[in-house]
Structure 1
Amino acid sequence: MSPSHGLQCGIQLPVQSQSTLYAEPWEAAAGPDDLLAVARAADRAGFAYLASCDHVAIPRRLAPAMSTVWYDPVATLAFLAAATERIRLLSHVAVVGLRHPLLTAKQYATLDHLSGGRLILGVGAGHVREEFEALGADFERRGSVLDETVDALRAALGPEEFPEHHGKLYAFEGLGQRPRPAQERVPVWVGGSSPAAVRRAALKGDGWLPQGDPRDRLPAQIARIRRLREEEGIAGPFTVGAIAEPLYVGTPAWDVGRRTVSGTPEAVAESLRAYRAMGVDQLQVRFRSRSRAELVAQIEEFGEEVGPLLR
């Protein structure tokens, strides 16, 4: 389904989203300098991508769990593109149904152009009703909206200066947008683990970004993607993703949590190689840390000691 390289690893940036599910205490007082340090470390360490989330506004009822700290992904990834050299830039995920596809295309085409073709556009349906209502978007039909939006974005992010799309929700032609993306085809990875999301990824995407499926669920999901693509006669490369358990390279001197995979580089690599055996191509990792310095050290050690064992 994808190139025959080893398991590639990307990283969801800290600081830019601070849900209580995963944010570390030190991130609350962190800012742009910390993002820069982490991005540069990941770039040097050979990580495949940096990822940034997308929420426009968090309702008060969800703020205690989700927080209201959600940096804009286009601004964040553009900021970090100028400070890095080769690492790719992933929206994980852009809730593209909140915006007209021509607006989304303008933003992300510019990002791809400025970064020299490093964009991966991750898209998802979204889940916060009030966010949709405030922006005049259709929450109940967000799945079908996303289906057409992906089609519209394929046209609007293609090579044509004057893209065309004629659908039920959106129609445009004769409207030019430059600069064009640097890539001839911007990869679109579809997020979500519901049956509808997995089907959408298989039939419309260049890759799949699961929503934290545990290891025991992944083989059946991957098999379904393969079956759907085969049934529809869809060929070409397809990138299967997964999100790893929290990681800590070495023997932690503090409580990193029961689910965290820790130990020697060889032990961590052995645990992660199980993902590749399932058919996973890229793995999103997150390291436990008590400070920016500890996170950067974890990234560096992973790049030097664990990464080579996964290739």
Structure 2
Amino acid sequence: MAGCPVSLAYGIQLPVQSQSTLYTEAWEAAAGPPDLVEIARAVERAGFDYLAACDHVGVPRRLAPAMSTVWYDPVATLAHLAAVTERVRLLSHVAVVGLRHPLLTAKQYATLDHLSGGRLVLGVGAGHVREEFEALGVDFERRGAVLDEAIDALRAALGPEEFPEHHGRFYDFAGLGQRPRPAQPHVPIWVGGSSPAAVRRAALRGDGWLPQGDPRDRLPGQIERLRRLREEHGVGAPLTVGAITEPLYVGRAGWDVGRRTLTGPPEEIAESLRAYRAMGVHQVQVRFRSRGRAELLDQIAAFGAEVGPRLH
């Protein structure tokens, strides 16, 4: 597992693209493609490492009041934003890859990596909405085992071979060529989730770990478990450890941003975020409180100019 980095990288989960009531702002309901484009461009200008998009095929009525049904497709969204940016990496956070055959997933994401010049980070997760699995004919109860094998199958399907091969319990393929190949020789796969099974999966199969809502006081224990599992199983490759920060607002808001929001002068925010680096975190995912697109763009710019340089 990689040691403490010189700098703490930072990325952002896109607003507008997913609109769960857990985190969406009121203005996002009326926003659309032009807003996403301007936000992506601002994120790149501000030096963010990545922008991220979520994955849900369909939201059942029982969950729609909380989750909403606004979930842009991550491949289409990231491809659209790849065309209006040049450097920022493109993260699926997370793709529920068990809902689709690995060859289909590989075709979509290999094409995205090819078109974007090698900017893909494939974040994967087990999923949690039973009705999605049932509608697509996938066994919800076995989703963890399916994901384990899907990661292995995707390693092959996103590798250098034009005719990838995988033989397993759930997937079996060979002799089917797929081009274009990814631009990257190795597409990083980051595993999402904070359950014991997800942490184990990230430790043994992932290039990175994307926790799901772990508070700060839980992270050191989770990171230690990652380290121990990799050591016990002889996994020596670097692992990118992530964290999702508290909501942020750079400066003094002048409106109620919520008691959990980390707000104040740039140095105070940077000092707080540097604590993640001290735990062994390599990249933090941020989300800003805002009342409209203009305020969000200002927050992104302020973070990039005044907070980001202090994370070294």
- Report the TM-score range of the alignment, normalised by the length of the smaller protein: over 0.9
How far apart are the structure 2 equivalents of 1:271 and 1:38? Answer: 25
Alignment-derived partner of residue 288 in structure 1: 289
1:300 Cα deviation (Å)? 0.2
Counterpart secondary structure, 2:190: strand
TM-score w.r.t. length of structure 2: 0.99
Q: CA offsets, 1:47-87, max 9 Å, x none?
A: 00000000000000000000000000000000000000100
Amino acid at match of 2:131: E
How far apart are the structure 1 equivalents of 2:44 and 2:139? Answer: 38
Alignment-derived partner of residue 210 in structure 2: 209
Counterpart secondary structure, 2:84: coil
How far apart are the structure 1 equivalents of 2:163 and 2:258? Answer: 52
Query: Pairwise mapping of residues 179-218 of structure 1 onto structure 2 (< 5 A)?
Result: 179-218=180-219
How far apart are the structure 1 equivalents of 2:289 and 2:49? Answer: 19
1:5 Cα deviation (Å)? 3.2
Query: Pairwise mapping of residues 235-254 of structure 1 onto structure 2 (< 5 A)?
Result: 235-254=236-255
Alignment-derived partner of residue 35 in structure 2: 34
Q: CA offsets, 1:263-285, max 9 Å, x none?
A: 00000001101100000000000
Amino acid at match of 2:202: A
How far apart are the structure 2 equivalents of 1:92 and 1:41? Answer: 20
Counterpart secondary structure, 2:141: coil
How far apart are the structure 1 equivalents of 2:82 and 2:286? Answer: 20
Amino acid at match of 1:184: P
How far apart are the structure 1 equivalents of 2:2 and 2:119? Answer: 18
Alignment-derived partner of residue 232 in structure 1: 233
How far apart are the structure 1 equivalents of 2:246 and 2:252? Answer: 16
Alignment-derived partner of residue 177 in structure 2: 176
Q: CA offsets, 1:166-187, max 9 Å, x none?
A: 0011110000000000000000
Alignment-derived partner of residue 275 in structure 1: 276
Amino acid at match of 1:227: R
How far apart are the structure 1 equivalents of 2:8 and 2:140? Answer: 36
Alignment-derived partner of residue 259 in structure 1: 260
How far apart are the structure 1 equivalents of 2:304 and 2:115? Answer: 26
Alignment-derived partner of residue 75 in structure 1: 76
How far apart are the structure 1 equivalents of 2:193 and 2:101? Answer: 21
1:237 Cα deviation (Å)? 1.3
How far apart are the structure 1 equivalents of 2:237 and 2:102? Answer: 25
Alignment-derived partner of residue 142 in structure 1: 143
1:222 Cα deviation (Å)? 0.1
Query: Pairwise mapping of residues 61-140 of structure 1 onto structure 2 (< 5 A)?
Result: 61-140=62-141
How far apart are the structure 2 equivalents of 1:44 and 1:99? Answer: 34
Q: Which runs of no fewer than 5 residues in structure 2 stay unpaired?
A: none
Alignment-derived partner of residue 44 in structure 1: 45
Counterpart secondary structure, 1:28: helix
Counterpart secondary structure, 1:140: helix
CA RMSD of aligned residues (A): 0.6
1:236 Cα deviation (Å)? 1.6
How far apart are the structure 1 equivalents of 2:259 and 2:86? Answer: 36
Counterpart secondary structure, 1:93: strand
1:2 Cα deviation (Å)? 2.6
Aligned length: 311
Counterpart secondary structure, 1:216: helix
Identity of aligned residues (%): 80
How far apart are the structure 1 equivalents of 2:92 and 2:2? Answer: 20
Counterpart secondary structure, 1:89: strand
How far apart are the structure 1 equivalents of 2:185 and 2:21? Answer: 38
